[in-house]
Amino acid sequence: MTGELPDHRAMFVRFLSDSGDEAAARTRFQRLVTDLVMVKLPGASEVAYPGGGDWGIDTYVGGLDSDIVVWQSKFFTAWGKTQQGEIRDSFKQVVGKAKDQGFTVTAWTLCVPSVLPPDQQKWFDGWRQRQTRETGVRIELWNGVHIRSALQQADARELRELYFPDQMPVGSDVPVAALTNLGTLSDALFVVQLETAGHTETDAAKGFFFAAEAMARDVAGRGVSAEVSALNEAELEAHGTWEQEYNARSGSASEDGRMVGLIDDVNSGVAKLASSPELRLRPAHRRGLVHRLVEGARAGWVTHWRDVAAGHRGTSAGTALEKSGELPSAAPPADHAGEGATVV
């Protein structure tokens, strides 16, 4: 998923609407700023302010008995003398408290969701220079463009989902990774299961498995909750498709446990399943998810598939791919333990 957010103006118009009213938006905006600061500086925090006594501090890093850096959040969607006055008052308050309480403000950043008009930006630049000369405090500005840019960074992805869930676009198709050496997976359980069911040609299945395994490890590595959930749902749907087809055929299986049409119908069924906006899988990935289920000893192609899995002594597919260099090590690759219900 690309994660591209709309223009900052559209972002915060919807932000205000989702918050319910301007008072709630102000509180939520301060929380957003704190969370953004914590992405880079996990030690960031806020102070409690019963009765409004927050000392002019919204978000800070440092110690209130030494040096601190402050971020001041103002949910300004319009600019004029009123906003100028609030900025002056907030800065004056924290500088005054620093003097009274014996700590030092080394930097102060104003955070707003909008972009200042030229005359207001000129005012801010002049005011910033004067205050820095008088107090020694470095003053910065995070406007709507800066905040949007910070949210676009990879490490802020979960914040995008949390604060702007309805503004995330439909994701792009996930690439289909290609297996270089098909022989790498010749001893894998899912291949043995196919051969037991009478399928002697398994190269395409190996390619499907590899595409799904590479994709699943990539999703696990990113750790984005929406993608992980979408992948777990896709696996559950694939498992359900296999289970439905297996149950319909197992009663009429041949003496050697084979079921005519099972593999073809399961592959066809999972390839047609709807994709998720959070993770737009290709049909090849969905076919590969079935083979990952088989590799994990959670499905099979003959009625005695559990016995086949229990008796398998070959190298697991994940281990084989890692040893060959086709995939880097990842935890946990598909194996025969069958623990848990998640793909990643």
* Cα distance between residue 286 and residue 282, in whole Å: 7
> Is the confidence at residue 168, as pLDDT, over 70?
no
* Cα distance between residue 236 and residue 105, in whole Å: 53
Question: Which residue do the tokens 């110690």 mark?
Answer: 63
pLDDT band at 308 (very low <50, low <70, confident <90, very high): very high
Q: Would the pTM of this model clear 0.75, i.e. be above it?
A: no
Average pLDDT, integer, range 310-338 = 76
Cα→Cα distances 53→76, 78, 164, Å: 21, 26, 30
> Is the confidence at residue 331, as pLDDT, over 50?
no
pLDDT band at 274 (very low <50, low <70, confident <90, very high): confident
Strand pairing report for 59-62 and 104-111: unpaired
Domains in the chain, ordered, with CATH? 8-167 (3.40.91), 182-324 (no CATH)
- Give the range among 75-84, 220-229, 303-312 with minimum mean pLDDT: 220-229
* Cα distance between residue 5 and residue 264, in whole Å: 41
> Is the confidence at residue 130, as pLDDT, over 90?
yes
Average pLDDT, integer, range 221-248 = 92
> Is the confidence at residue 344, as pLDDT, over 70?
no
Take residue 308 and report the two structure tokens written for it.
Answer: 């086949």
Take residue 61 and report the two structure tokens written for it.
Answer: 């890093």
| The pLDDT of residue 5 | 80
- Which residues are CB-neighbours of 100 under 8 A, at least 6 positions away? none
| The pLDDT of residue 227 | 85
Cα→Cα distances 146→52, 113, 212, 224, Å: 28, 9, 37, 23
| Long-range contacts, stretch 169-175, CB < 8 angstroms, 24+ apart | 169/1, 169/2, 169/3, 169/4, 170/277, 170/280, 171/1, 171/2, 171/277, 171/278, 171/279, 171/280, 172/1, 172/2, 172/280, 173/280, 173/282, 174/215, 174/279, 174/280, 174/281, 174/282, 174/285
Sheet holding 104-111, edge to edge: 59-62, 67-73, 104-111, 138-142
* Cα distance between residue 186 and residue 194, in whole Å: 11
Indicate the Cα dihedral angle 321, 200, 304, 212, nearest 10°.
30
Q: What is the pLDDT of residues 92-107, one digit of tens each?
A: 999 999 999 999 999 9
> Is the confidence at residue 336, as pLDDT, over 60?
no
Classify 105 as helix, strand or coil.
strand
- Give the range among 145-149, 259-263, 326-330 with minimum mean pLDDT: 326-330
Q: What is the pLDDT of residues 135-149, one digit of tens each?
A: 999 999 999 999 999
